[in-house]
Structure 1
């Protein structure tokens, strides 16, 4: 009886969870598609827009990228099968770039890295969230599955390159302006150098990127190489 009750409770939570996740993933597909649309307008406009690419996508990017923080809680509360720590690292790196670099350091968004990371992020996220929504609906569209486990081969390095370029640009600007840098003497009796912090963040890509990249290759082999696993990654 206890097992039946637990199973019923799990089923009810599953229904509510799936409804929420479907809405979340659908909103993310729409949001990232809108960002891609804005990028298309920027690159094809004639004459060239007076606003920079960052000024055009800023609001939408802040909303939809930072909304990904919810995915850490999705993993923690078991709404998805993803590893919470892996999800945290993935989300934290992007939130750091958006909030700590593009928003936080004036002029960092002028880096060419912005163009690289926006292209990689938008295409990746449209495919990824479409894949997740498809899984929630219980359908399988092979082109989406194939794109999900193939496009990352090029997009992941492109996105990481863009992120590192923006981080580097920010570190140079902070080094000159001493922004968010605390030196002695001060009432806090502490010191903090934001330029060093950005350098440390860049250094973390060295051990973390290969792990995440190889993880995706492992998932690709399982899904496209004959494996049955199609878990939400």
Structure 2
């Protein structure tokens, strides 16, 4: 599950236009993936064919929405946003492990299918709120108070759903990883171990960000 990075600094007009475009495009991609998945769940749930959701949304999730997050490390390194490089790198690494590392390659088992849907829900809602928030912020016309509330409160529920779903998917991928190579199995095991302190660091970072914003609003 991804932590929301801090707001962009005062930047040049060119950088501002770039960040506006990046966040607007990312919002559009995530909204498309999320709405498509929600519609498929509504249509397929009564028929018992929920596993088919994976095949319909994995490619756009992999190629468009998730892989674009690599740019966020560059944004942090260049100082375009105030997001810490370390937490941003942790965020992106966990996503890439799942989408490129093989943990999302056709969950198959019922627990895996449900965990995949859990990831989709947690990721999709979070990223739509996050990228929409920053697009409005960079645009400079103000962010509605209700959107700000969503931005700094929904992670309390969505983060545990996302992180637990990710761990389940990695755990269920251990047999597949062992069949490929013992080192690949160990890579997944180490990833699971890192998730414990990593999730705590990211969760407390988000709580600290929320407190900082709320303190600023009270002073204002």
Scaled by the length of structure 1, the TM-score of the pair is 0.81
User: Could you tell me how far apart the structure 2 residues matched to 1:64 and 1:20 are?
Assistant: 17
- What's the RMSD between the two structures over aligned residues? 2.2
C-alpha displacement of 1:144: 0.9
1:207 to 197, 200, 203: 197
Residue 216 of structure 2 corresponds to residue 227 of structure 1: yes
Q: C-alpha offsets along residues 85-117 of structure 1, whole Å, 9 cap, x if unaligned? A: 2111111101111110245xx543651210111
Greater share of helix residues, 1 or 2? 2
Based on CA coordinates, which of the two structures has the bigger radius of gyration? 1
Among 132, 137, 140, the residue aligned to 2:139: 137
Structure 2 counterpart of 1:72: 73
Q: Which residue of 2 aligns with 1:108?
A: 107
Q: Provide structure 1 residue ranges, at least 5 long, that are not aligned to the other structure.
A: 1-10, 182-191
Question: What do residues 116-151 of structure 1 show as CA deviations (whole Å, max 9, x unaligned)?
Answer: 111000000000001111210221211111101000
For 2:173, what is the secondary structure of its paired residue? helix
Moved over 4 A (4+): none
Higher relative contact order (CA 8 A, sep 6+): 2
Number of residue equivalences: 203
Query: Aligned equivalents of 1:93 and 1:83: distance in 2?
Result: 16
Gaps of at least 5 residues in structure 2 are 1-9
Partner of 2:120: 118
Q: How far, CA to CA, are the matches of 2:43 and 2:103 in structure 1?
A: 23
Distance 1:156 1:50 in 2: 23
1:165 to 150, 163, 168: 168
Tell me, in whole angstroms, the C-alpha distance in 2 between the residues paired with 1:81 and 1:52: 39
In structure 2, C-alpha distance between the alignment counterparts of 1:102 and 1:208, rounded to whole Å: 18
